[in-house]
Structure 1
Amino acid sequence: MQKRKESQTSQSLTSTEKTRSHLAWNDFEVILAIATAGSLSGAARALSVSHATVFRRLGDIERRLGVTLFERSRAGYRPTLAGEELADTARIMDEAALAAERKVAGRDLEPSGEIWVTTTDSLLMGLLAPMFTQFRQRYSGIVLDVAVANQMLNLTRREADVAIRPSNRPPENLIGRQLATIGQAVYGHRSLGLTPGASIETLASQPWIGAGPRLQDSVLDQWMGHNELKATSVYRVDTLVSILSAIRSCMGLAALPCYLADEDPDIIQLTDPIPELCYDLWLLVHPDLRGVVRIHALMDFLTEAIRGQRQRLAGRLLGQPHE
């Protein structure tokens, strides 16, 4: 009787061990994240968990499987043969899941819900406001909640779902689309009587409007410093819309995005777009949201609408007619 119980217990343990050795999808997710990032910290960022959590989950997976999945070194984590096989399987599973999600999502006739969007005041006023109106006309079930900020909100912490930002170095943990290049030129009020095409050296004798530190535009700050324009700055402010307002008030000259300043008939473009001040315009989203139907709807809509205005965003050379 005792032997039979021991045999049954042994069989039960064997069955339990086999069950425990099975990998769940989140196990494959951890393996793929480490293989892709090459480090636990990179995998932690991709998974939005702590470094310790990834370390603990990898250790648990390797104990259950009884095999080492990654070689540890100062250079990072390199998959073993077993680790690479599981990572390849995870990639296939991920692609299949996304394909199924897209297929199911495609059945939604009317995407709905809220989208949190973050952008700058200048982009909202000079470019995006009419596009958002057109988007709402097409997708009446989607509510746009727009946060206007100079600083990049944290998409990982869901402070926003989508960011529309000028940047030459977008965050690496986000996925996105480069939509256009934003050109910037020097502008002044028409009443100043300045001649378009004058050199920066000549214009330096005029009062200038600078960017306040909260605007966080180090490129513009460096350019003004290099051209010795800081000493002639009589006014600093921390938003581009406020700089535009100052130009309208004849406060002085300033560099502004062409798409923003060209719309005002009382403000004239004094230089060609300045190469050092050009920015790429990005549409950014957290990887976890790439399969959400309403997010895709907004991204596709804005991609087409903004790329249709690439020439306007880049700015015109002096002597070229306005469109």
Structure 2
Amino acid sequence: MNNATHPPGLSWDDYRFILAVGRAGSLNGAAKRLAVSHPTVFRRINAIERALGARLFERAREGYAPTPTGEEVIAVAAEIEARIGATERRLAGLDARPTGKVRLTTVEPLLQGLLVPLLAKFRRDHPGIVLEVVTDNALHDLGRREADLALRPGSKPPPDSLIGRRVARLAAAVYRPRSLRLPRGAGADDLAGMDWLIPDGSLGDIAMAHWLRRKQYDRGAVLRANSLLALRDAAVEGMGLTMLPCYLGDAERQLVRVGPPQPAAASDLWLLSHPDLRRTERVRVFADALREGFAALQSRLDGASVPGQSG
């Protein structure tokens, strides 16, 4: 450990609560990280401070700010967490059997639109492996074993601390409700003044959101959402135009594609894992199955024409 002192009498569970509050800066944020209630975090932090006889956090309207003592304890907690995570990854890496549990984190549109058939096939081929799938726009920390694999769209390569493989290219296009008629000859570049359904700020970094801003179609937004599935469903109900990955838009018969896929709105699909898990057999075989599955789906992901869908 570093030069920070180890406060006596604290369990790892105590450190978890201190670390969560320190990282989130609030009780609500810590409660979400720990999957407990706000009052539980409040009582736990107060009890820890009473046991230590020291204040770890200053309470303010803006949140919880660590005191100098709190900063020292948070540093110790982070180091303990890192050591526990490294030990777990090393132990997991020793397991050469294709059995056990594999935890995957991804975004919900991929799960609903593509992944479930791949997961079903994998289970048939590897009945000894139990799958856990978490859908969230937030990127779970693979270093802390919040997940074994992450499947994420994005335009940037993964950080050096992770192993990343590009498994697919996701085309995207503009879609209109089948009931909405556009002027004859109108294409994706001629849609100013229309009602638009667009990603909100939490999805502002995705390629589709950048494309919409460049076209200034965001000025016509009548709905913003943090879910591509919500945007698709709103378009089906006739609320306006939207941009979707082609695998989502083409599968919905009440939507019609407006023009071809837009290259600038496409994104790569990355499969990420931690280097310590690369020799774990159950993780390796699942990663291989995902890569093979998405390779077989690439024509659909490219936005190949679907009968009745081109507009």
Provide the TM-score with structure 1 as the length reference.
0.63
Contact kept, 8 Å, 1:196 with 1:269, in 2: the verdict is no
Change (3 A) 1:196 1:284: farther
Out of 224, 247, 251, the position equivalent to 1:236 is 224
Mapping 1:1-323, distance limit 5 Å: 105=96, 108=97, 111-169=98-156, 170-194=158-182, 198-316=186-304
SS at match of 2:179: helix
Structure 2's unaligned 5+ residue stretches are 1-77, 83-92
Contact kept, 8 Å, 2:101 with 2:130, in 1: the verdict is yes
1:134 Cα deviation after fit: 1.1
SS at match of 2:164: strand
Cα deviation digits, residues 41-74 of structure 1 (max 9, x gap): xxxxxxxx96xx9xxxxxxxxxxxxxxxxxxxxx
Contact kept, 8 Å, 1:190 with 1:267, in 2: the verdict is yes
Once residues 213 and 268 of structure 2 are traced to their aligned partners in structure 1, the CA distance between those partners, rounded to angstroms, is 22
Change (3 A) 1:290 1:197: farther
Cα deviation digits, residues 196-247 of structure 1 (max 9, x gap): 9623342222200011112243533332222121211100000111111111
1:275 Cα deviation after fit: 1.1
SS at match of 2:134: strand
Contact kept, 8 Å, 1:135 with 1:301, in 2: the verdict is yes
Once residues 184 and 296 of structure 2 are traced to their aligned partners in structure 1, the CA distance between those partners, rounded to angstroms, is 28
1:318 Cα deviation after fit: 9.6
Change (3 A) 1:164 1:203: same
Aligned position for 1:33? none
Letter in 1 for 2:260: D
Structure 1: 4+ residue segments shifted above 6 A: 317-322
Once residues 165 and 147 of structure 1 are traced to their aligned partners in structure 2, the CA distance between those partners, rounded to angstroms, is 12
Contact kept, 8 Å, 1:200 with 1:227, in 2: the verdict is no
Letter in 2 for 1:150: N
1:190 Cα deviation after fit: 0.5
Change (3 A) 1:179 1:197: farther
Cα deviation digits, residues 175-213 of structure 1 (max 9, x gap): 122111100000011111237962334222220001111
Identity of aligned residues (%): 37
Cα deviation digits, residues 263-303 of structure 1 (max 9, x gap): 11111111211111111111111101000010011011111
Aligned position for 1:89? none
Change (3 A) 1:270 1:264: same
Letter in 2 for 1:278: A
- Count of residue pairs the alignment pairs up: 222
SS at match of 1:173: coil
Cα deviation digits, residues 142-168 of structure 1 (max 9, x gap): 111111011211111111110011112
Change (3 A) 1:193 1:321: closer
Contact kept, 8 Å, 1:196 with 1:270, in 2: the verdict is no
SS at match of 1:117: strand
Provide the TM-score with structure 2 as the length reference.
0.65
Change (3 A) 1:263 1:318: closer
Change (3 A) 1:317 1:166: same
Contact kept, 8 Å, 2:177 with 2:256, in 1: the verdict is yes
